A and B are shown apart, each in its own frame.
Chain A
Amino acid sequence: MSAVSKWEKMLNLDRRWIFLAIGIASIVPFLIGFGMPISTTAEVESIFDYVNGLDKDNAIFIGFDYAPGTQAENTPMGVAVLRHAFHNNVPVFITAYQPLGHGMALGALEYVTNPAIPGFYQSVSFEEWADLREAGITDKDELIASWESDGNALPEGAKGWVFEGRDFAMLGYAPVFSLVILGMTASIENQFPQDANGNPLIEMPMLREHKSLREVDLAFTTSGSSACRSWIVYGREKIGLPVAFGVTAVMATDYYPYIQSGQIIGQMGGLRGAAEYEVLLFENGITETTDKAFTGMDVQSAAHLLIILLIVMGNIAFFAGGFHKKTALKGRG
C-alpha cells in the first residue's frame, strides 16, 4: 500500500472538521462583534427611495411568500419594509402565497408591534377603534388626535400608533394565489371578503380608499420560491403595478434581468439585501438601531473568508499534489 501524501490528506479531510470550523466562524463574531461596515447598492436604494416617497394617501402590499426554511433571509426584509411603511403612515396589505407564509406574516407583524422589541409600533385592533370609525374619523392624523384625547397614551419606546384597518390589514393566505393577484386587479374585497382575523374588509378605511391593485402603489414580495414572479406576471404586466422583490440569495441572480428590463423597481438579495435596507432605515433616522440582518453580516463575512481560505487550500493541494494529472484520488473509490 502506497503512503498517503500530505496533499491527499488535505483533500480527504473529514468534512466534519469543516462543519466545526464554519460553526466556530459563525458563533465567534456574534460574541465579539467586528462591526464591519455595509455599503448600500442601487437595487436596494431604489426600493427604499420609492417607499420613502409614499405617504398615507398611498398603499402597498407586502407578500410573505415563503416558508420557515428561508425565514432567516426573508423575514428581515419584510420587517424592514413594514417598519418603513408604518413610519411613513403608508397603509399595508399583508398577504401570503402559501399556508406556511401565513404564519411568517403573522410573526413579522407581531415582531414589529411587540413592545419588547426596540422601536415597536403600538397596534390598535379593529375592534378597539370601532367607535371612532363609526363616527367617521378615519384620517390618520385625526384618528391619532381623537384616540389620544380618549385617554390613550403612546407607550414609552413606541414609534407610533398603527390602527388595524387604517394602517394595516392582515389578509393572509389564499389558495392559488396567482389567480388571487389577478382577481385583485379588479377587486381586493372580492378575493378577501374578510381579513385573517375575521374583520370585514368593506368596513376598513384603507380598503375603501384602495379598492383594487390598480389603486395600490407597490407590491413588495419577500419570497423563497418562484412565487414572486406571479406579482410581475399578474400585477406588473397586466395593470402596471410597481413591484419590488426581496428574494433569497440562491434566487437573486435569476431575477437581476427583471431589474435591467425595468420590470421591478429593485431587489433585496438575501440577508445582505435586508441588512442594506436596515442601514438605510437607520441612516435616514427611521429606526434608532439596525436589526438582525445587519448583526448577521459580521458572521457572513467571517464565514465567507473561511470558505475562500478552504477553496484556496483545496486548490493548492490539488495542483501541488499533481492530482490534475490523475483520474482519482487515493483513498477514494
Chain B
Amino acid sequence: MYETIGIWVGAFFTLAIYSFLYKENPIYRLAEHLVVGISLGYTMAITYDITLKPRLIEPLLSGNHWILLVPAVLGILYITRFIPGIAWLSRYPIAFLMGTAMGVSFPLTLKTDVLRQLEAAMQPFYMSGMPWHEIFGNIVMIFGTLAALIYFFFSKPHKGLFFGTGSKIGIWVIMLGFGATFGFTVMGRISLLIGRIQYLLGDWLHLIE
C-alpha cells in the first residue's frame, strides 16, 4: 500500500518536473521547491541520526569522551555567524578546517594530479615490439599535450612556426577534448531521461519489466 502511494507520488513529481519543458508553471515550481526542502530535511535527519547522535551526543552522555567537547564547541561556533556581535568567532572553526584540509590534501593532491600525470606523460613513445596503434597513440598524446600547453603559454605572441602553429594545433586538440566531453554530456542527460522513463513505464504503469 505505502509502496504504491510512493510510486504514484514519484510519478506525479516526475511529470511535474518535466512539465517545465512545455512552459514554466506552478506545479513545476511546487515540485522544485519540494526537492530542495525534502533533500535538506533528509540531510539533516541523516546527519543527526548517524553522525551527531552516535558520534557526539551518546558518547558525551556516557560521560567517557569529554574530548569530544572540543569539536562540539568548534562546531557550535559556526552558528555565531548569525549573531552580528560575536560573528567573528565563526572564523576559528573555518580557519581550523581550512588549515587542516590544506595541510592534509596539498602533498597528496600534488602527487595525484601533477607528479603522477607527469610521470605518465614521460613514457617512451616507441619501443621494440610495440604495436603500431600504441605508438600512434603515444605520439598523439605527447604532441597533443605539448600543443595544448603551447596554447596556454601567454608570455610570447602566438606567431611563427613554434608558437603560432603549435597554438593552432593546441586549440584543435582542446576542441576535440570539448567535443568528447559534449558527446558524453549528451549521453549523460539522455541516461537521466531513460531512468525516469523506466520508472514511469515500469514501476508506475507496468508496461515494461
Contact = CB atoms under 8 A, between A and B. Distances in A.
Given A26-B197, A73-B195, A296-B194, A253 B119 contact: no
User: Which of B22, B55, B141, B180 is most buried by chain A, counting CB atoms within 10 A of its CB?
Assistant: B55
A307 B141 CA distance: 30
A262 B21 CA distance: 43
A319 B194 CA distance: 33
Given A99-B42, A182-B104, A270 B198 contact: no
A174 B195 contact: no
Interface stretch (B25-33, B78-86, B110-118, B160-168): B110-118
Contacts of B94: none
Contacts of A26: 190, 193-194, 197
Main secondary structure of the interface of B (DSSP, over half): helix
Interface stretch (A1-9, A149-157, A160-168, A229-237): A229-237
Contacts of A260: 120, 141
Interface in B104-141: 104-105, 108-109, 111-112, 116-117, 119-120, 141
Interface stretch (A80-88, A138-146, A204-212, A298-306): A298-306
A102 to B, nearest CB: 5
B54 to A, nearest CB: 6
B186 interface: yes
A237 B108 contact: yes
B50 A173 contact: yes
Interface residues of A, number: 59
Nearest to B193: A26
Interface residues of B, number: 44
A71 B195 contact: yes
Contacts of A233: 105, 108-109, 112
A271 interface: yes
B191 A175 contact: no
Given A182-B104, A249-B188, A229 B42 contact: no
Contact of A263 (B55, B112, B192): B112
A300 B187 contact: yes
A239 to B, nearest CB: 11
Interface in A232-257: 232-234, 236-238, 248-254, 257
Nearest to A118: B209
B67 interface: no
A120 to B, nearest CB: 15
A261 B47 contact: no
A299 B190 contact: yes
Nearest to A248: B188
Given A30-B198, A99-B46, A261 B117 contact: yes
A172 interface: yes
B194 A232 contact: no
Contacts of B42: 99-100, 103
A254 B184 CA distance: 11
A70 B187 CA distance: 12
A300 B190 contact: yes
Given A249-B184, A253-B184, A260-B120, A99 B47 contact: yes
A295 interface: yes
A233 B109 CA distance: 6
12 contacts: A27-B201, A71-B195, A73-B188, A73-B192, A100-B42, A234-B108, A250-B184, A257-B120, A263-B116, A270-B191, A296-B195, A304-B187
Given A173-B46, A261-B120, A303-B193, 16 more contacts: A26-B190, A30-B201, A72-B192, A73-B188, A99-B47, A194-B54, A196-B50, A229-B112, A237-B116, A248-B191, A261-B117, A262-B120, A270-B184, A292-B198, A300-B187, A300-B191
